[in-house]
Chain A
């Protein structure tokens, strides 16, 4: 299992632990920021989904295995910290992380425009999840109301956060790769 988690990057146990520590730390930080900081100080009127952005970045730069595990952990984490009764995000984020990692490595070259394409998919997934959760929570909620008050602000905030996260996450993943090469 450890081999999958490491992907093809980690070759030693210490390297694996470092990867888990750095990616896990980023994930934890983002999840805490999302449920406490941005929940209190909304960005563009809503809380941006930093977890899906992190999953996207990790899977985009580190591959499907790391992306899948990050999605699984991130989904679980955000559901565990959050307040919703049902738990769907581990499955959804895992699938998203794995598929993005799979296709970004196999098909699309590493360019910012391709990253933005995946970010668009991430926003669509996030919007679908929000609609689903809202529908389960509020019985008589109209879609236009949800769109104006929740979906659009959330999508805008997440898009900006995702676009910004690209740079630090790229540096972080490059750092991990260099250390591997150096080792």
Chain B
């Protein structure tokens, strides 16, 4: 150790070190910014800038990969959330449909208090351009019988043509075997709405047996009269879309577009009983 302190280089350097340590410290303690700090800071500032730029570049490079991981995580979370929202929407749509159906039921019930109805779901329908025969999930065990009218909120769908234990078949207004006593309130004209084979494909039916001078017009609403043994009175059948004259009998024949859209039916009401307006008895 003694040898170290005998070295001239060591002593000189130690003195220099003490001086360059003591002077800046003293200046700093006195509140003066050290000149050496200023000079070295000026020299090293560009280098520090370079290092910072390189550091930023590395940071950006690293952030790219960390961002990808973050994005993947976010994407997964969003997909999960999206799936949940879709399920909620599906549930809401189901509830909305059910709500709509129940509202329709209530509407019919409030409009026709005497109606006894059995709600039925469409479980099958005939193939073709227009589904004009439907199979419903109600049968004899539910009190369903042939010739019972089937309605929805918009109006008459048709009537039950065949029935099984837990199913029944419904024929619509536009089928050729269908026939409904009808009247048009505005001019007070009556007639018979029936299916026509040539009109069936267009989803319409015809009203005939009207007075030759009847003042009917396109757009007139057509309702059931309640005559016959199938349909109750005042149910909407549809509206007139065109008027012609029969070339043989010269009687008026009008085309009626049914109020019910047969292409979009899922639920129907089967009228198991209703009070006839004229006689006051119960049908079915």
Contacts and interface: CB of A to CB of B under 8 A. Distances in A.
Interface of A: 1, 4, 28-29, 31-33, 35-37, 40-41, 64-65, 68-69, 72, 75-77, 79-81, 85-91, 94-95, 98-99, 102
A111 B84 CA distance: 65
Contacts of A75: 17, 21
A91 B21 contact: yes
Contact of B41 (A81, A98, A102): A81
B44 A31 contact: yes
Nearest to B58: A41
A35 B17 contact: no
Given A40-B55, A41-B55, A68-B10, A81 B40 contact: yes
B28 interface: yes
Given A40-B55, A65-B9, 5 more contacts: A80-B36, A80-B39, A86-B29, A91-B17, A91-B18
Contacts, number: 91
Given A36-B51, A77-B40, A87-B21, A102 B28 contact: no
Nearest to A81: B44
Contacts of B4: 98-99, 102
Contact of B48 (A1, A36, A102): A36
Given A37-B55, A75-B17, A28 B9 contact: no
A32 B9 contact: no
B141 interface: no
B36 A85 contact: no
A32 to B, nearest CB: 5
B242 interface: no
6 contacts: A80-B34, A80-B39, A87-B34, A91-B14, A91-B17, A95-B17
Interface string B95-111: 00000000000000000
B52 A76 contact: no
Contact of B21 (A90, A98, A102): A90
B13 A36 contact: no
A68 B55 CA distance: 31
Contacts of B48: 32, 35-36, 81
A68 B44 contact: no
Which 3 A-B residue pairings sit nearest by Cβ, starting from the closest?
A80-B40, A85-B28, A4-B9
Contact of A40 (B12, B14, B52): B52
Contacts of B226: none
Contacts of A37: 51-52, 54-55
